[in-house]
Every structure is written in C-alpha cells, then in structure tokens.
Amino acid sequence: MTEQIEKALQREYEAGFVSDIESDTFEPGLNEDIIRRISAMKEEPEWMLEWRLKAYRSWLEMDEPEWAHVHYPEIDFQSISYYSAPKSMKDKPKSLDEVDPELLKTYEKLGIPLHEQMMLAGVAVDAVFDSVSVVTTFRDKLEEAGVIFCPISEAVHKYPELVKKYLGSVVPQRDNYYAALNCAVFTDGSFVYIPKGTKCPMELSTYFRINEQNTGQFERTLIIADEGSHVSYLEGCTAPQRDENQLHAAVVELVALDDAEIKYSTVQNWYPGDENGKGGIYNFVTKRGICHTNAKISWTQVETGSAVTWKYPSCILKGDNSIGEFYSVALTRGAQQADTGTKMIHLGKNTKSTIISKGISAGKSNNSYRGLVRMNPGAAGARNFTQCDSLLIGDKCGAHTFPYVESRNPTAIVEHEATTSKVSDDQMFLCQQRGLDPEKAVSMIVNGFCKEVFKELPMEFAVEAGKLLEISLEGSVG
Amino acid sequence: MSNWLNGAVARAESVSDWLAPKRQASLALLREAQWPTRKTEAWKYIPINVWDRTELQSDAVEVNAVAESIEGLNSIDLVFVNGELTSDLNDELPAGLSIVSLADASADAQSWAAETFASVKPSRHLFGLVNDVLATQGVLIDVAAEAVIEQPIRIVNVLTQDSEAHTRVLVRLGQNAKASVVEQFCGNQRSKNTGFAEYKVGESARLEHYRFALQTGESLSIGGSHFELATRAELNSTLVGFGSTLQRVDVDVTHAGEHAFAKLNAIYLLDGKELFDLHSTIEHAVPHGTTEENVRGIVADNSRAVFNGRIHIHRDAQKTLAELNNRNLLMSDRAEIDTKPELEIYADDVRCAHGATIAEIDKTALYYLQSRGVSRSQAQIMLNFGFINELVDEMPNDVLAEWLRPQLRDRFAAMEVK
Amino acid sequence: MLSIKNLHASVEEKNILKGLELEIKPGEVHAIMGPNGAGKSTLGYVLTGRDGYSVEQGSAELDGVDLLELEAEERARAGLFLAFQYPVEIPGVSNLEFLKASVDAVREARGEEALSSKDFLKMAREASKQVNLPADFLKRGVNEGFSGGEKKRNEILQMLLLKPKLCILDESDSGLDIDALQVVAEGVNSQRSPDRSFIVVTHYQRLLDYIKPDFVHVLADGKIVKSGDYSLAHELESQGYAWLKDQPADEAATNDVAEG
C-alpha cells in the first residue's frame, strides 16, 4: 500500500527546464571587490555600498548555524557567482515590448504570462530572473492608488528615505549568517509601500526564477504597510533541474504600522534535487515581520521544493492587540530536508498568535517543525495557539517537532499541540472500495490533512498549490 | 573551561577501583568535553556557571545528619550523608534481594554492575560523566528473577553545609521480578552533589520508582534516573522536584524490548529564586512500546522552570504509542517557564502526540471557590494543590502520597499570593 | 433583605445593567425572566462579585451591608449564594475538600463552631442523599466528569450545606430532564423559610411551576420592565417578550417601584 501512496506522490519537476539566455555573470568568488561591483552594476549610492560592506565584515566573523535538523556538505562560498543578469537587461528595457522575448517565454512556460492582457486580472507581478527584476506589471494602476511596487534596486534610487529607514529594521544585519550574507550581496527583489488607509487594489506577486548555473540568488523584499493599510502579497519560485546544488538566501522584511494588515503567501517550488539527493536548491531564508498596534501579519507557506529548507517566517508582536499568524504546509519527498517553522515574539499586551503547521514526509526525506513562542513580561493577556501535525508516508522518512515555548507573563496563555499520523491502509482501502484510484485517494487524504492551511491561501495561489501537491482542491477553497 | 571541572578531572585521576576501565572511558570523554554555555542546547536556559562560581569551605564541619524515616512505609533504608553510606547493609533482606555497597562489592555483584555501569545512562550528559569518574560511593541492588519485593527500597541522600557528594545507584531486576525504589534527596544548605541511577528492568519485570528531588535553598544538585526496559517490562515512575539555586534532573527511558510500558509522572513546584530543570528523553528503539508522560509544574515568585521532553521513535519502532503532556501554571510576572516538548519520529505506523500549556490559575474556578466563601488565598492553594494532586493520586504507593501531600501543601501556603 | 437601587454595570466596557431596581423582603421568592442578553446572569455575577464585572452606579445592600464593597468570598460569608448556570469543574480538588473548606469559612464568619470532620461528613452524606447524588461523589473532583444534571444538583447540595440568606438560582433548570428538575425544585422548596429569600433566574415557566414565586419580574435591556405575580409568568410563556417592548419604559419602571 505504501508503495502505491509513494507513487502517487511522485511527479516530474515541470519547472526544471533551462532558458537559453545570454547572461553577464560574475566569476565565482566573494570579497569586498565583488560587493563593490554588485553595487556599481546597480549604480547604488554610497550609503548603500557602505551598508553592504558593513554586513559583509560582520558575516566574515559569523558562524554557519548548525542547530537545524538538516545535513549537507559544507558550502564553498567562493565557488558561487554572486551576480548574473541577462545581457538584454543591460539597457534597462522601458516597456514590455523591449524585453527579450526569450525571457517572456520563460515566464509564460512557468504559467506566469507577463503581458497584462494575458495576465490573471487582479494580480500585479514583479518577475525576478537571477539577479535582476525583468518587469513589474500593472505599475500605473497601482500608482493611481498611491501604492509603490517596484524592484528594490529601483527603490534605493527613488525612495531612499523609506529604504534607509526600514531596510534592516526588522532583520538586523547580524541576525544570522545567511541574513548577513544577503545584506552584503543581495541583487534584487521587490519593494512595496502601501500608503496610509489604503487597501491595495490588487494582489501583489513576485516570481523568482534561478536560471544561470553556479549562481546564487540573494533576493531582498521589503514591504511597508502604513497605518490602516492592507495588502496581500504572493511569492513563487522555481529553478532548473541541475546536478549541482544552488544557494538561495533571501531576506524578507515586513513592517505593519498601526492598524495595518499584511498577508504574505509563498508557494515555494525550487528544484528539490533528484530522488537520491543530487542537486537542488539550498533555501536558507530569513523572513520576519513587525506588527505595531492593532496590526496583523499573516504568513502562509506551501513548501514543496528545495533540497534543504531552512526558513522561519516570524512575527514580532510589538504593538498592543497585534496579531501574528503562520500557516504552513511542508511536503518533503525523495531526499529532501526541511527545517521550517516560525517565531512569535509577544511584546505587546493582548497580542495573539496562531500557528498551524502541517508536515508531510515521504521517501527518505526529513521534515522538521521548529518554532519559538515567547511571551515577554509585557505581554499581558497575550494568547498563542499552536498545532503541529505530521503525516508520515512510508517507513524511511522522518517527521520531527521542536517547539520552544517561553513564558514570562502569568496572564499570557500558551497552548501547543502536536500529533503524528499516517495515511492508513484502512483509509486507502475505503477510498478504493468506493472506486477511487490510489492517486486520487492519497490526494484526498493529504488534501484533507492540509485543509486548514490551504483555506488561508489567496484563490490564485491555492490553485497553484493544489497543482503542486497534485491534489484537487475542490471544496477546500473559497 | 571550568576550574571546577579541571579540578574534578584531576581528582578523578587518583580514583582506582574495580570500575577503573569504565571510569577511564568516561574520563577520556570528560577531558574532551566542553563546559556548557548558553549556546549549549542541553543547558540553554540554566546558568550553569553558578556551579563553577560556588565555593565550598573545604574545612566543612562533619555533621551527624540522619534521614527521617517515613512513617508506615516499612522501607529498607539506605542513607548517604554527604556522599558516605551510613547504613548497615548486614541486616537480613527479603529473599531474592541483594544490596551491596559500591565500595565494597562482591565479585558477583561486580560482574553485573560493571556491565550496567554507564550503559543505561547516555554519555552525552557532562555531569553524568563527572559522576562516572567521581562516584566511589553507591549501592548495587539486585532483584532476582521471579522475586517480588514488597518492601520499598529507599535511598536517601542528605547533604549538609559545604559538602560535595557523588553517588551512584545501579539496579537490576530479573525476569518477572517486582520492586519499588525511592530515591530521595534532601538538604537546603550550600552544597554540590551529583546523583545518578541506572536501572535495568528485565523481561516482564515491574519497577515502581520515585525520585524526590526535594533539595532547596542554596544546594546545587545535578542528577538523573535512567531506565532500560526489556520485553514487556513495566515502569511506573514519579518525580517530585522542588527548586534550589540549581537543580537539574534527567529522566531517560530506553525501550529495548518490545511491548514495554513506561508511565512517567513529574511534578515541580518552585518559589523564591529557585531553579528547576527537567530533561527527559524516551528512546523507542523497538516496536510496540508504550510511553505515557505527564509533567506538571507551578512556578511562583522569581523562580524558573525548564522542561525539555524528547520522544525519539527509531526507524524500526513501529506500533509505538507515545504521549507527553506538560502543563504549567505561572504564578507571578517575575517567574519564567521554558518548555520544549520534542518529537523525533522515523517510523510511520506510530501514534505520538505531545502538548504543552502555560497559563495562570483558572480565574473562573477561583471565583467559584470565592463565591462559596473560601478566601482568595486559600482558594489559590486549593487549586494549585488540585492541579498537582491529580498526579499525586496516581502514585501507586499510598503511604508515599500521604507523606508527600502535607509537604506540597506547605509549599503552596508559602507561595506568595498575588 | 436585598435592596438594589439604580444599578448600572458593565462587562468588557459594554453596559449590561442600566438602572436596575429590586427590593426583596425576607422569605420572598422572586423570579426574574427575560429574553437572552437582557442581563439576567450578569445580575447574579455583579451581586456575587465576579472579576470583570464593574459597577458604574447604584447600590446593592444585603441586610444593610454594602455588597459592592466586599470581596466575592466576603459576600458569600455574608449569606449570598449563587447557583451557577455552568458549574465549574476543578479536577484534582475533591468535592469533600471543597465543601469542607467552604462550610468552614462560612461558619467561621457567622461565629459558629467548626464542624468536626465526622460531623461534616455525616451532614454532607445526608445532603447528597437529599439531592440524589451517589455516595462516592464526595471523593471525586469538583464537578469533574459530572453530567449536566449532577452538576446542578451539586449546586443545590452546596446551598443546603451553606444555609445562605439569599440564594440566586441562575437558570438552574437549563438542560435538565424532568426528574432532575424536580430534585432541584424540591431542594429549593425544602429550604424556603421566613428568613431566607430566593431569586430564581429562568428563561422558562417550567421551573416556576415547581417553585411558586411570590413575584415575577421581567428583565429587558438591563432594567426591570415589568413586575407582577405568578400569573405574569404564564402570560410571558404564551405571549413571549415582544409585547413588552411596546410599553413605555417609564410606566414599566413606575409599576416596578409601585409593586416592589
């Protein structure tokens, strides 16, 4: 029975193709000169370069974290190229018509058409290809509402005050090894600013694509929701199928000012490597948001890709009555390893957090939830509820739960629960006896297991997530 | 590195007895070991440096301390005062039971004990290694196959001012044997001790176990009870801990044989500036094992409790049932609770769950009692007691439960009412 | 016995009671009826001093003692008893321990001698027999694993033991079958006396058929909007509460004072 289930979960990595695009790629290596060259390519002001160099010098003194439940060979940071951009992007195309058709074809193949007339209505996309942003759609429409949505490299020039004020304000440069590295070498990513009292008129989305060989992608995203504003943001990612491992070390910072709300959804589908663990992306990501008074940040993630995932989208609940949420589905197969979870740091009074984590392990994979809930002395009346469920498929995988719960306020209430289960033979038999094939049966069971998380995804993404898990989402969305 | 540890290693070099080969192996590990810091996961929340910093007066006065017996328990008492065995082991023992001093072991006892020593307790514990090399005092308890020992065996460690003590207990239960062992620690003055016990519970044997870690005040105490369960063995263990300047207890169970059953209850009650750190690892190495673990704590005033409960289901341990529940009441805004229940699972056909809660006393229940005329402070004591009493009620030995209850009540009464 | 004047109270900054007036003389049984959300349960909680219920205005006195100044337990010792709509479960604390602590505290406040454990046990056993609770219930945790009916009977049992001056029964009939309802009613009727009064809060007339009240009040939107005798309960049962809304509030209040 297990074999049938595993077969049902196997699928081709459809985004594994390589685009034939001529690129300007730096030679591998990391030193201050490389950082100066990245900064020069982006024509950055001096303060930005200084900021990068400071981070680089910190990074040199830091150690790679070893506490996660993942194993991989030592990364040679000198063998990675830290910048790669399609040649055609050098002239900075002014409109979509000037963009290399091969690039547009790549996104089309990935199901992300960048021509506005072809696009999903209501979703603005920033498409990042290796180290540069190719195009950001629907900008005019967003500008009408006062919403800024542009590549972060552009924001450094156009909105230096906002960038200076908030960049590194949620994730300090020295926060961790990969965050420091990102600060030094980040190349592109998205910048979002929602003005006071504004409800962003459409979903914002960034699609990250790694194409070039031996490169790392170090994207940086900064989202600022001003007082009383509201935004929903989606992130997707894919990479070609290669035998070598590639590094993706992103930093995402969210700032939700008083009464603001940010919903951040991710469908992560980096190349996971083959069944034996050859190739795949190392996904070492730092994501964190800060909530001011009455603000809310909601993280939803569907993690299906990457050879190794190390990722803890977190909330600092600084303001009174602020709310943090984390909804996660992590599916690991083959030799994948995921160590993911969240941190909820309760500082303000009556702050609330909810954590729902669903881990599905199959094959020889290892899937860990790692979380921290901290009630600081000021968090009077705060509340947390955490539910971590693991589903094991087969007897060669691992499912682990490492929750840290720390409380220093007697009026705060923390509740943590974790369970583990399997797709039982009885469930499979029942489905099959009712005429379902094993694939459909597994789909249904896994879908049911993930339901609480899927219902948090925006409609467009829910469909994509469903496709990724090869399961029908009928009845669980909307 | 720690001065104290360097000194301990130096002292260990002069220890030479029948356990020498075992001690040498541990000493080698100890020489390589790092003194824990805040970054050491197993000591993350506890400032272990207090152990290093605390100076004991070397010209400590000899004290003729005695251990009070427990009325009605009718136990076989083995008393250590500052690490020295003071009980006479020549009294007649029930048939099938053998108890000998570690320092004075017969060749027979040496053979099984040498095999057991440091084989049940994992070598990762720094202070376990310290105990391996320094514990020259201890007892070896052997319960023959089929023997049912009705009298509880009580091992008491009394620590007085400025004492340092390292004691070791090794217990073996033969097939179908049944016994009850109580490990009790007392003393409230400045002292340092490590007390580790290793239990090999044989096929279908039943062990009832209590660890009363009741040291308080300025005492520093680190120790553990470690169990290995053979096929169909049954363990019922209760830990009760009060805090002190430093208290760390490890309770580890390895399911080495199929269909074994472990029930672990633990209680900690902290007040003042006390610390208590409980670590528990359950290794399900084989299929069909069952573990039920319930841990409850009340943490008042400026105290701090740490709980780390790990359940590790190995690749082949199919059909394991394991549940861990940790509930805490936080009584003050200066107190802290850090809890980390962990699951590490490598087998799919298992049922595992854990839960942890931290909350304050139930306000509705408090009001209910007040509305019946009970004062707020008394209501608080009753509710705290009730929260803990559920586990006390589950203790199989009623005499011990009765002995414990007034002590718990005294603790609750002393807790500052907010 | 009980005198409530212009009582305004709120919970979580929401005004629930808005100028409630009520006078109860010794030996009287008053029923309070009214639609959901009218403030019926709030009245019981405010009088007995539950946390989170704050009084903005007005007074409540029990035999001349200002209740609102007292802690919850002091009110209980002064003779006020609330039979909870949802009795609280307290695992680990046995009923016996709970009842003894409670009875000791109340007796001490009255200047009565403490009961010996033996006498208390005897009294508790008799009382549990009276409300049809099995003998082993005294050893069990407070309300732990009790059925709805058992919980309500346990409330009545506590009333029997504490011998309060004024008992408030907060929907003691809800969720009860006819047998349990009779037990509750008999418990109350057995305690009726010239120096003990009752407030029976209920949604339905059903309980009032067994406990005949001297007065019936309708509580709506935080005030007593109509008062009458037992026949008012029948009227409400057949016509509901809607017709009361048409009455001018002033008139209702005047009636209330006139009749109270």
Contacts of C87 in chain B (CB under 8 A): 368
Distance between CA atoms of A185 and B13, rounded to whole angstroms? 53
User: Is B389 in CB contact (< 8 Å) with chain C?
Assistant: yes
Alpha helices (H) in A75-115, listed in sequence order? 101-109
CB contact under 8 A, B354 and A418: yes
In this complex, which of B334, B337, B349 lies closest to A407 when CB atoms are compared?
B337
Q: How far is A63 from chain B (nearest CA, A)?
A: 13
Q: What is the pLDDT of residue B82?
A: 93
pLDDT in tens, chain C (260 residues): 999 999 999 988 899 999 999 999 999 999 999 888 888 889 999 999 888 889 999 999 999 999 999 888 889 889 999 998 888 888 878 888 888 888 988 898 889 988 898 999 999 999 999 888 887 888 888 888 888 888 888 999 999 999 999 999 998 888 788 888 888 888 889 989 999 999 999 888 888 888 899 999 999 889 998 899 888 888 887 877 776 665 544 444 434 333 33
Q: What secondary structure does DSSP assign to B194-250, as a single string? A: EEEEEEEE-TT-EEEEEEEE---TTEEEEEEEEEEE-TT-EEEEEEEEE-BSEEEEE
CB contact under 8 A, C93 and B376: no
Which residue is closest to B365 within chain C, CA to CA? C88
Instruction: Name the least confident of A72-81, A120-129, A317-326.
Output: A120-129
In this complex, which of B372, B385, B388 lies closest to C102 when CB atoms are compared?
B372
Q: Which residues pair with B250 in a beta bridge?
A: B224, B279
User: Is A64 in CB contact (< 8 Å) with chain B?
Assistant: no
Query: What is the dihedral angle through the alpha carbons of C238, C242, C248, C252, rounded to the nearest 10 degrees?
Result: 50
Residue B102 DSSP code: G
Q: What secondary structure does DSSP assign to A166-207, as a single string? A: HTTTSS-TTSSHHHHHHHHH----EEEEE-TTPBPSSEEEEE
Contacts of C88 in chain B (CB under 8 A): 362, 364-365, 367-368
In this complex, which of B41, B349, B353 lies closest to A67 when CB atoms are compared?
B41
Q: pLDDT for A177-218, tens place per residue?
A: 999 999 999 988 899 999 999 999 888 888 887 777 778 889
In this complex, which of C49, C75, C91 lies closest to B386 when CB atoms are compared?
C91
Q: What is the pLDDT of residue A8?
A: 56
CB contact under 8 A, B374 and C50: no
Q: What is the pLDDT of residue B9?
A: 94
Query: Exposed/middle/buried for B217, CB within 10 Å: 0-12, 13-18, 19+?
Result: middle
Number of H helices, E strands in chain C: 9, 12
Distances (CA, A) of A165 to A156, A161, A170, C164: 11, 6, 11, 66
CB contact under 8 A, B373 and C91: no
CB contact under 8 A, C101 and B382: yes
Distance between CA atoms of C115 and A136, rounded to whole angstroms? 83
| B309 occurs within a structural domain | no
In chain B, the N- to C-terminal Cα span, in Å, equals 42
**Rounded mean pLDDT of chain A?**
85
| B17 occurs within a structural domain | yes
Looking at per-residue pLDDT, the higher value among A147 and A205 belongs to A147
Pairing of strands B336-345, A190-194: unpaired
Q: What is the pLDDT of residue B325?
A: 96
Distance between CA atoms of B194 and B127, rounded to whole angstroms? 7
In this complex, which of B330, B340, B342 lies closest to A407 when CB atoms are compared?
B330
**Stretch (H or E) spanning A148:** strand A148-151
- Write down the residue that tokens 């950055």 correspond to: A44
Interface test with B, best of C70, C88, C107 (most B CBs within 10 A): C88
In this complex, which of B345, B347, B356 lies closest to A400 when CB atoms are compared?
B345
Q: How far is A368 from chain B (nearest CA, A)?
A: 9
Residue B8 structure tokens: 């301990």
Residue C35, Cβ neighbours under 10 Å: how many?
17
Distance between CA atoms of A294 and A350, rounded to whole angstroms? 10
Provide the residue ranges of all domains of chain A, joining segments of one domain with +: 2-476
Q: What is the pLDDT of residue A25?
A: 85
Q: What is the pLDDT of residue C258?
A: 35
User: Is A409 in CB contact (< 8 Å) with chain B?
Assistant: yes
CB contact under 8 A, C102 and B389: no
Contact residues of C toward B, CB < 8 A:
48-51, 71-73, 75-77, 81-82, 84, 87-93, 97-98, 101-102, 105-106, 109, 141-142, 158, 162
In words, the CATH class of domain C2-259 is alpha beta
Number of domains in chain B: 1
Q: Which domain holds residue B136?
A: 3-257
User: Is A417 in CB contact (< 8 Å) with chain B?
Assistant: yes
CB contact under 8 A, B378 and C102: no
Chains B and A touch (3+ CB pairs under 8 A): yes
Q: What is the ipTM of this complex?
A: 0.89
Q: What secondary structure does DSSP assign to A267-307, as a single string? A: EE------TTS-SEEEEEEEEEEEE-TT-EEEEEEEE---S
A313 closest CA partner among A271, A255, A264: A264
Residues 6+ apart with CB under 8 A from C141: B386, B390, C89, C90, C91, C92, C93, C94, C95
Q: How far is A303 from chain B (nearest CA, A)?
A: 20
Task: Quote the pTM value.
Answer: 0.86
| B80 occurs within a structural domain | yes
Which residue is closest to B390 within chain C, CA to CA? C92
Q: What is the mean pLDDT of each run of 10 residues along chain B (418 residues)?
A: 90 92 95 90 90 83 77 94 90 93 92 96 95 96 97 96 95 98 95 97 98 96 98 98 96 98 97 96 97 96 96 95 96 94 93 93 92 91 91 96 93 74
How far from the centroid of its chain's Cα atoms is residue C127's Cα? Answer: 19
| B263 occurs within a structural domain | no
- Write down the residue that tokens 């049809």 correspond to: C132
In chain C, the N- to C-terminal Cα span, in Å, equals 13
CB contact under 8 A, C73 and B374: yes
Contact residues of B toward A, CB < 8 A:
41, 315, 318, 328, 330-360, 418
Q: pLDDT for A374-384, tens place per residue?
A: 999 999 999 99
Distance between CA atoms of A189 and A192, rounded to whole angstroms? 10
Distance between CA atoms of A116 and A220, rounded to whole angstroms? 25
Provide the residue ranges of all domains of chain C, joining segments of one domain with +: 2-259
Q: What is the pLDDT of residue B406?
A: 92
Which residue is closest to B326 within chain A, CA to CA? A416
